[in-house]
Amino acid sequence: MTSLLQTEKRHLWHPFTPMQAWCEEGHEPLMLVSGHGCYLKDQHGREYLDGNSSIWTNIHGHGHPTINAAIRAQLDQVAHTSFLGFTHEPAIQLGKQLVDLLPGSDLSRVFYSDNGSTAIECAIRMALQYWKQNGHPSRDTILAFDRAYHGDTLGAASVGGIPIFKGSGNDFGYRVQRVPTLEALDDLTRDEIKRLSAVIIEPLIQGSAGMRLWPKGMLKALSDWCRQHDIFLILDEVMTGFGRTGKMFACQHEDVIPDFLCLAKGLTGGYLPLAATLTTERVFEGFLGPGRAFYYGHSYTANQLGCAAALGSLQVFREERVLEHLPEKVAHFTHLLTTLRDLPSVMDIRQCGMIAGIEIGPYAPERLMGVKTCLAARQHGLLTRPVVDTLVLMPPLAATHVELTTMVQALRMAISEVAAPTSS
C-alpha cells in the first residue's frame, strides 16, 4: 500500500486539490476501496458515511443491486457504440423516461452528453445557434447571476460568477450579462434585453456559492419575465435534479418548465458519467432544414452502460417509491440540522430538501477552517467537503434516519473540536 501511494504522489494530479500539501511525505491520502449503501471503506478497512454523495452524485447508495444488474446486463450486449449516425435501445428508453418525468410539459427532446458542464454547453450553444439561424443574430448574450457555478469547461465557466473557478483569466467564452438578483432585471435597458438569447440559473439554490438559497417565488417570477420577453430559460439542475430538493426536479416546486433542462450527476444514480439536455419542439424545429444540424457532440455520447445505469436508477425511484418517502426524511434532516444552531461557531444553516450548507465562522479564508472541520469529521466516520467555510452535507437519498443522525452528530463533534468563534 505504501508503494502504491508513492506512485499516486509521483504521477497523479487531483482536481481542486492543493497538490504541494498532498504530495508531502507525511501526508497519507485517503484511498477509497469499496462501498455499500451509504458507506465507503478505506485502505485500512475503516468505514465512513458518504456525507456529500461522492461529490453530489450518488442517489441510492453504493452497490445497489438493481443498478448493478442493469449495468451487467448491458455489458453482456455491448459497452459502447457511437451515437453519431447510429442509435440504440437504452438511449431510446431513457429519453422517453426522462421526458415522462415532466408530464404535460413542452420538454420533448433529449440530447445526451458526458457531464454537467457539457449539458450546460449544449443548452447555451443550442440557444445561441437557434436565434442566429432563425432571424435574430443579434441575440448573442446570455444572462447569468452573480456567484453562479455552471461547470469548468470554457463556455460553462464563462457564465459562472465565481472568479476562482475561471482559472487564469475571466475574459473568455460567451458574451454574458451578469446580474445579482431578480430585481436587477428592472435595471436592464431595452437594448440589453433585446440582445438576450437565454437566461441561465441554478433553481432554488446555488451550490458552489455556499448553498445559497434563492427567495421563494424567485424562479417563477424569472420564468414569467423570460416568457414576457421571449427569452429562453436554461435551468441547471445538475446538482438539484433527481430528488435532491424533495421533488424529482427543483423547478417542480414552483411549477416552472424551462426551455432547456440540464441534467447530470444523479442521472445515473452516481455510477457513470452521463448528462442530458432536455429541450422543446420549438427549439428542435429551429434546427431542421437543408444543411442544418447541431454541430456538437462527444465520443461517449449516450454511452450504453451510462444509459443502463440511468434506467436502473429510475427503476429504483419507482420500485422503492423514493420520492414518496422523501418528505418524512427531509423533515428529520431539518430537525437534525436545527440542533447545530446552538454551536457558537455556526453562523447560518441553509437547507433545500436533502441539501444543506452549515456556515461556520467568521474566519479568515487562509485559515481553511472548513477544510479542517471536514478532516476532523473523518475521525468520526463522515466524509464530506466544504465550500470555503460552508460545510456541505448532502447525503444519498437512501440514507436512513439513523444514518442521517450519525452524519449530523459527526459534524457536530468536528465543529466543536476544530471551530471556535473568532473575528480573525
250-279: average pLDDT: 98
92-99: average pLDDT: 98
Peptide bond into 362 cis (omega under 30): yes
Does the pLDDT value for residue 52 go beyond 50? yes
- Residue-wise pLDDT for 4-33, tens only, equals 999 999 999 999 999 999 999 999 999 999
- Residue-wise pLDDT for 162-172, tens only, equals 988 776 555 67
Q: Which pLDDT does position 423 carry in this prediction?
A: 47
238-242: average pLDDT: 98
46-67: average pLDDT: 98
333-353: average pLDDT: 98
Q: What is the mean pLDDT of the chain?
A: 96
- This model's pTM is above 0.95: yes
Per-residue confidence band for 249, with pLDDT thresholds at 50, 70 and 90: very high
176-201: average pLDDT: 98
- Residue-wise pLDDT for 359-370, tens only, equals 999 999 999 999
Q: Which pLDDT does position 424 carry in this prediction?
A: 44
Q: Which pLDDT does position 165 carry in this prediction?
A: 79
Q: Which domains does the chain have, with CATH numbers?
A: 31-60+323-418 (3.90.1150.10), 68-319 (3.40.640.10)
